[in-house]
Amino acid sequence: MTHSELRQLADTDGVSIGAHTLTHPSLPLLKRDDLKREISGSRQKCEEITGRRVVGFAYPFGDFDGSTANAVRSAGMDYAVTTLPREAGPRVDPFRLPRVTVADWGEADFRRMVLCYG
User: Residue 49: is its pLDDT beyond 90?
Assistant: yes
User: What is the predicted pLDDT for the residue at 100?
Assistant: 73
User: What is the predicted pLDDT for the residue at 118?
Assistant: 47
What pTM does this model have?
0.82
Residues of the chain above pLDDT 90, percent? 69
User: Residue 75: is its pLDDT beyond 70?
Assistant: yes
Architecture of domain 3-117: Alpha-Beta Barrel (3.20)
Contact by Cβ (8 Å): 86, 47? no
How far apart, in whole angstroms, are the C-alpha atoms of residue 41 and residue 75?
10
Domain ranges within the chain, ordered by starting residue: 3-117
User: What is the predicted pLDDT for the residue at 116?
Assistant: 65
What is the pLDDT averaged over residues 45-71?
95
26-30, 55-59, 78-82, 110-114: range with lowest mean pLDDT:
110-114
- Strands 56-58 and 79-81 turn out to be parallel
Between 65 and 109, the higher pLDDT residue: 65
Please enumerate in sequence order all residues whose Cβ is within 8 A of that of 29, keeping only pairs 6 or more positions apart, or say none: 63
Per DSSP, the three-state class of 17 is coil
User: Residue 91: is its pLDDT beyond 80?
Assistant: yes
User: Residue 56, Cβ neighbours under 10 Å: how many?
Assistant: 19
